Structure 1
Amino acid sequence: MPTTTDITSRAGRAGKVVLGAGVVVAVLLGVLVVARPTTVSTGPDQVALHYSDGAFTPRRFQDCVSSSSRTWDGPGDKHYAYPSSQRNYVFGEMGDREPVTFVSKDGIEMSVDGVAAFLLNTDCETLRKFHDLIGNRYAAYMDSADGNGSAGWLSMLSVYISRPLETAIDRASQNYTYTELYTDPNVKAQWEQDVLEQMPDLVGRQIDGDEEFFTNFAITLQKPVPPESVKAALVAQQEAVARAKAKEAEAAAQVKAAQAQVEVERAEAAKIAERIKVLGRDGYLKQYAIDKGLNPYQPTTSGLITGP
């Protein structure tokens, strides 16, 4: 018959077995969690970069993931999505930043709303360099598959797009007065083109090396606005010019009317002269009186008999 000591010893060994099995199960579960593969699913306007980053692998670039794709990669690997479609950087009310202010050729401070459109260069090697140099530093990669950018994306654009845009607008504005920019649509269109032509070079200066991380720029600028006091003065000036032009037009119309009247009177005088030639002076006067309803043949006393 087993003694109490034997029973206790057996129970201890069984407990150790159970404990050991539990530890093994826990370790296996931990390994499964750690070893679980990673996945990425890109949208139709996204691409992604794949980096190895597991517990036993160095962090190293692996490959690019094209748009509208789903891939499964090693445990611990990282994926960074970036936009492959046109991006818009809006400046102005409800935009990505406040309006851009600048100074015109004649020293008037103005502000303008608008949109700077561009493409991120998603060539695989170029995008990898962008991520390593810029995107990873600002966490500028997309944080979802719905096409929305991250806070880091906007932070990055405030340096690499916003500052060059300010410089381009300020430089282009030195060629035009505020009245030209505010009132002349042809000048405004040329000013917009001047800004666009400067953007690639100014953006490139922000980047180390010769890589073109941003391409296909397009600029749309709204009508620039001067301060309210200047705008009021300009409106008053325009109203005064309009009134002066109206007076000039009225005076010109009066001159033309007077000239027309003179021509009418000249024609009438020529007509009278011709009638006098035909009827004689007395005949014309008699005919004139008749035409006016008068009787040119008034009675006289020369025909009366006055003698006894």
Structure 2
Amino acid sequence: MSTTANKIANRAGAVKKATGGFLLLVVLAVAVLIFVRPTTVSTGPDQVALHYSDGAFTPRRFKDCVSSSTRAWDGPGDKHYSYPKSQRNYVFGEGGDRPMVTFVSKDGIEMSVDGVAAFLLNTDCKTLQKFHDLIGNRYAAYMDSTDGNGSAGWLQMLSVYISRPLETAIDRASQNYTYTELYTDPGVKAQWEQEVLAQMPELVGRQIDGDEEFFTDFAITLQKPVPPEQVKAALVAQQEAVARAKAKEAEAAAQVKAAQAQIEVEKAEAAKIAERIKVLGQEGYLKQYAIDHGLNPYQPTTGGLITDSTP
């Protein structure tokens, strides 16, 4: 009995050992797959990507840039960060990336404006790497999909590096104009828009450490700025009063002009009469006037009647 029991025990031990070894091999195989599986990146036509080594046994280090419309395979654990290559729009206003921008005009009226700030991210490889290391990685501003949309981190980054300089540029340019000029004069509005655009590169650059231009090719489109409703209502009432006054002035001017024209007509007629009197004499003119108007200037008189002279 003891010999049989020993055999069974030995056989069970061998099976257990073999099973444990198999499980160990499975675990090792899974671990190998995890650590040696290559990473891949696929950029869209308006994207570029940065490639960083980041494997289990390698330090995190920049490797190279991946151009647009490219699929690449890299080492296990490596990371890829995609950024937009095409023009980006930062929309402020209803339904945009942020609310309308408010500012104060030269005469102290608070106004609001919506619009679009367009720009390009500098995707030169070395510049983009520095942007990622200093800013993009901090905000997780890299794109999270291949559909061209930015991430939440991208918008958060823009709220610092685009939105704040934009507010400053609009506020500074607005100090040169009254609210009525900005609200009613298209020429002033266009000039104001150009002044905002001219300030953007410098103000954005102040937000960045170093001399790199991470954002380039700015374009600004501002809609018609609007004052508060009560101010706008007062301005409309003022404009209506001015319009009524101008209409009255125009009517009075027209009446004066008509009177002057009538006077000139009467002067011409008087001159014409004077000339006819010179030719016909006063009595002759009066007779001719009567005839022209259907009257008979030759009325009978008692001196021309035949009377009875019989005593």
Q: TM-score range by the shorter chain?
A: over 0.9
Q: Structure 2, unaligned stretches of length 5 or more?
A: none
Letter of the 1:60 counterpart: R
For residues 236 and 27 of structure 2, what CA distance do their matches in structure 1 show?
Answer: 80
CA distance in 2, matches of 1:107, 1:11: 93
What does 1:1-308 correspond to in 2, within 5 Å?
3-304=4-305, 305-308=307-310
Paired with 2:288 and 2:167, the residues of 1 have a C-alpha distance of 86
* Aligned equivalents of 1:105, 1:3: Cα separation in 2: 106
Amino acid across the alignment from 1:153 = W
What stretches of structure 1 of length at least 5 have no aligned partner?
A: none
Structure 1 distance, partners of 2:89, 2:275, is 82
Task: Provide the aligned length of Structure 1 versus Structure 2.
Answer: 308
Deviation at 1:18, TM superposition (A): 2.4
Distance 2:11 2:274 in 1: 155
Deviations 1:229-259 (A, max 9, x none): 1111111111111111111111111111111
SS of the equivalent of 1:20 reads helix
Distance of 1:116 and 1:26 partners within structure 2: 54
Measure how far apart 1:271 and its partner are.
1.1
Runs (4 or more) in structure 1 with deviation over 2 Å come to 1-4
Distance (whole Å) between structure 2 residues aligned to residue 264 and residue 202 of structure 1:
69
Task: Give the stretch that moved more between structures: 94-103 or 288-297.
Answer: 288-297
> How much has 1:99 moved relative to structure 2?
0.4
Q: Kindly provide the amino acid, as one letter, of the partner of residue 232 in structure 1.
A: A
What amino acid is aligned across from residue 244 of structure 1 in structure 2? Answer: A
Structure 1 residue 29, shift from structure 2 partner: 2.0
Map Cα deviations across residues 200-234 of structure 1 (whole Å, 9 max, x no partner): 11111111111111111111110110011111111
Percentage of identical aligned residues: 83
Work out the CA distance in 2 between the residues paired with 1:95 and 1:29: 47
Q: Which amino acid aligns with 1:307?
A: S
1:17 deviates by 1.0
Structure 1: how far apart are the matches of 2:271 and 2:62? 103
Which amino acid letter does the alignment assign opposite residue 94 of structure 1? G
Q: What RMSD over aligned residues (CA atoms) do the two structures have, in Å?
A: 1.3
1:37 & 1:128 partners in 2: Cα distance?
22
Amino acid at match of 2:248: K
Name the SS for the 1:136 alignment partner.
helix
Give the superposition deviation at 1:306.
4.6
Q: Distance in 2 between matches of 1:265 and 1:183?
A: 46
TM-score by length of 1: 0.97
Shift of 1:22: 2.1
Question: For the residues of structure 2 that align with 1:162 and 1:306, how far apart are their CA atoms?
Answer: 122
Kindly provide the amino acid, as one letter, of the partner of residue 100 in structure 1.
V
Q: Take 2:30 and 2:228, find their aligned partners in 1: how far apart are those partners?
A: 68
Superposed displacement of residue 4, structure 1 = 3.4
In the aligned structure 2, how far is the partner of 1:242 from the partner of 1:200? 43
What is the CA distance between 1:284 and its match in structure 2? 0.9
Q: AA paired with 1:40?
A: V
